[in-house]
């Protein structure tokens, strides 16, 4: 469900440099703001505004007392401003939610496939699983250009605590498409899972088609496409 035409004020708490390429903006959690792991927000600056703002998955979990969005550093006017926000600065959410049911379900095991910053909604899901000791089987396949996997320390901690979580990290920089697909296929043990794919549009589309070509039912695939990066 998507909550449209809202204006929920956000106060920046911290700008956190997560690694050499990625930054998170941490906000105080507005009173009574509820969301589900996997949801996104449309966020904008309260003072200047930026043509309806931009969409970011919440990388924080509903079990946490703060909200966070995480992004690759960029060059657009919006990103330049986002990369320099100060504690106390006001932003706002103009809509939020999730239109394609990008939420973990209890009934089946799940395979989460992240491309780069596509890890953001999965961090939210896995943190919630960890905090609530959820026993579903979840396999995260995390593709990234280099070996600086965002949130790796936390992910490893949650994996150690919950044996039902497994994680595979794949560095794609020198991996040709065929080799990447072969590897992906070898990691997916059978096709009867729920599949979730998040990341840049091309990666999401290619992976979705690849899964369908290999027998996965389209109804079992949910995508979170971040657009052209």
Ligand X SMILES: Cc1cc2nc3c(=O)[nH]c(=O)nc-3n(C[C@H](O)[C@H](O)[C@H](O)COP(=O)(O)OP(=O)(O)OC[C@H]3O[C@@H](n4cnc5c(N)ncnc54)[C@H](O)[C@@H]3O)c2cc1C
Residue number, 78 or 109, with CB nearest to ligand X:
78
Residue 46, helix vs strand vs coil: coil
Question: Among all residues, whose Cβ is closest to ligand X?
Answer: 74
Q: How far apart are CB 224 and ligand X at their closest, in Å?
A: 5
Residue number, 75 or 218, with CB nearest to ligand X:
75
- The residue whose two tokens read 């369908």 is 212
Residue number, 162 or 226, with CB nearest to ligand X:
226
Residue number, 52 or 87, with CB nearest to ligand X:
52
Q: How far apart are CB 185 and ligand X at their closest, in Å?
A: 27
Q: How far apart are CB 196 and ligand X at their closest, in Å?
A: 13
Q: How far apart are CB 88 and ligand X at their closest, in Å?
A: 23
Residue number, 13 or 79, with CB nearest to ligand X:
79
Q: Which residues in this chain contact ligand X in the complex, by CB under 6 A?
A: 40, 54-57, 70-72, 74-76, 78-79, 117, 120, 224, 226-227, 229
Phi-psi region at 116: left, alpha or beta (left = phi > 0; alpha = psi -120 to 50) = left
Q: How far apart are CB 146 and ligand X at their closest, in Å?
A: 14
Cα angle, residue 50 at apex, residues 45 and 55 outer, rounded to 5°: 80
């Amino acid at each position: 469900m998507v909550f449209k035409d809202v204006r929920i004020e956000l106060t920046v708490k911290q700008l956190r440099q997560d690694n050499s390429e990625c930054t998170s903006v941490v906000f105080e959690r507005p009173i009574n703001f509820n969301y589900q792991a996997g949801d996104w927000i449309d966020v904008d600056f309260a003072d200047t505004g930026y043509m309806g703002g931009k969409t970011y998955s919440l990388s924080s979990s509903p079990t946490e007392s703060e909200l966070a969005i995480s992004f690759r550093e960029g060059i657009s006017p919006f990103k330049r401003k986002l990369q320099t926000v100060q504690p106390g600065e006001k932003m706002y959410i103009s809509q939020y939610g999730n239109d394609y049911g990008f939420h973990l379900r209890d009934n089946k095991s799940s395979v989460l496939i992240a491309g780069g910053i596509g890890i953001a909604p999965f961090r939210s899901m896995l943190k919630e699983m960890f905090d609530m000791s959820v026993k579903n089987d979840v396999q995260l396949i995390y593709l990234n250009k280099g070996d600086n996997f965002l949130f790796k320390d936390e992910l490893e901690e949650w994996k150690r605590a919950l044996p039902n979580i497994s994680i595979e990290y794949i560095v794609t920089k020198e991996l040709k498409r065929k080799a990447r697909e072969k590897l992906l296929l070898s990691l997916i043990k059978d096709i009867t899972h729920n599949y979730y794919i998040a990341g840049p549009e091309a990666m999401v589309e290619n992976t979705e088609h690849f899964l369908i070509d290999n027998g996965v039912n389209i109804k079992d695939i949910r995508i979170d496409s971040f657009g052209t990066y």
